[in-house]
């Protein structure tokens, strides 16, 4: 009985924290890092570019076209090209994912700002709001639901795409898939898929919570309708 393959939970317990770089705990930590950093970078890049595109409409089409080209690039070849610049490091995965995220978020920022009613802007101007105050206190909060919807897409896609980096040795939980491929054994695959799905669900839930906290008037409006 003891000579048979370990069960899923036995394998998980043995490999959770082995003290090695490829333990489940370390792979999970790496996966979270390589997922969260691109999301933050994408938001930092997309907000000013989206604001610029919303203000100067002639800039939107070329920016959107370029970002669509970037988004269409398959991740694995991009990772391989990045190796010559950043080497076999987490940066090789983080930078392309940040650009993929920005490609989704820039249109979300523009669409969110376009959704702000003109009469709301005019009311802010009539109240003496400066352009910066109007942007921070009126336009961005009203655009938040659309931007956060785009951010939810970015979060889920980033968490999923990180695993592709395992093919160049930097894929977080994707390392469990390559391990199972090299030595056919199902528990690593099941654990990897389960943890990636769990991360995606947690990230999405946190962003939904952030949206509710940042846009309380949306809940109030639904409650009165």
Structure tokens at 163: 């695993």
Q: Specify if 75 maps to a domain.
A: yes
Q: For the chain, how far is it from start to end, CA to CA, in angstroms?
A: 63
Q: How far apart are CA 158 and CA 172, in angstroms?
A: 12
DSSP assignment letter at 128:
T
As a whole number, mean pLDDT of residues 112-130 equals 87
What's the pLDDT score for residue 1? 46
Q: What are the tens digits of pLDDT across the range 58-90?
A: 999 999 899 999 899 888 899 999 998 888 889
As a whole number, mean pLDDT of residues 46-54 equals 93
Q: How far apart are CA 36 and CA 65, in angstroms?
A: 26
**pLDDT class for 4, splitting at 50, 70, 90?**
low
In the chain, what percentage of residues exceed pLDDT 90?
Answer: 44
- Yes or no: say if 6 and 187 are a contact pair by the CB < 8 Å rule: yes
Q: Specify if 13 maps to a domain.
A: no
Q: How far apart are CA 189 and CA 108, in angstroms?
A: 34
What CATH number has the domain bearing residue 167? Answer: 1.10.3720.10
The Cα-based distances of 58 to 63, 77, 117, 177, 212 in angstroms read 9, 32, 21, 45, 33
pTM check: above 0.85 = yes
Q: Specify if 12 maps to a domain.
A: no
Q: Specify if 11 maps to a domain.
A: no
Structure tokens at 173: 């939980």
Q: Can you give the three-state secondary structure of 50-82, one letter per residue?
A: HHHHHHCHHHHHHHHHHHHHHHHCCHHHHHHHH
Name the domain count of the chain.
1
Structure tokens at 218: 């949306």
DSSP assignment letter at 4:
S
- Whole domain around residue 104: which residue ranges? 20-224
The SS3 assignment for 73 reads coil
Q: Specify if 48 maps to a domain.
A: yes
């Amino acid at each position: 009985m003891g000579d048979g393959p370990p069960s899923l939970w036995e394998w998980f317990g043995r490999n959770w924290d082995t003290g090695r770089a490829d333990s489940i705990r370390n792979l999970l930590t790496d996966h979270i890092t390589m997922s969260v950093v691109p999301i933050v970078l994408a938001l930092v890049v997309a907000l000013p570019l989206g604001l610029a595109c919303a203000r100067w409409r002639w800039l939107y089409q070329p920016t959107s076209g370029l970002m669509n080209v970037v988004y269409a690039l398959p991740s694995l070849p991009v990772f391989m090209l990045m190796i010559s610049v950043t080497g076999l490091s987490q940066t090789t995965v983080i930078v392309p994912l940040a650009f993929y995220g920005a490609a989704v978020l820039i249109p979300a920022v523009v669409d969110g700002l376009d959704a702000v009613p003109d009469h709301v802007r005019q009311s802010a101007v009539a109240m003496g709001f400066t352009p910066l105050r109007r942007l921070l206190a009126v336009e961005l909060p009203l655009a938040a639901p659309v931007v956060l919807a785009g951010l939810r897409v970015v979060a889920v896609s980033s968490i999923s795409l990180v695993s592709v980096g395992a093919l160049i040795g930097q894929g977080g939980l994707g390392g469990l898939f390559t391990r199972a491929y090299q030595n056919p054994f199902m528990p690593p695959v099941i654990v990897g898929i389960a943890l990636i799905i769990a991360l995606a669900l947690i990230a999405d839930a946190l962003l939904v919570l952030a949206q509710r906290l940042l846009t309380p008037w949306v809940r109030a409006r639904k409650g009165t309708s």
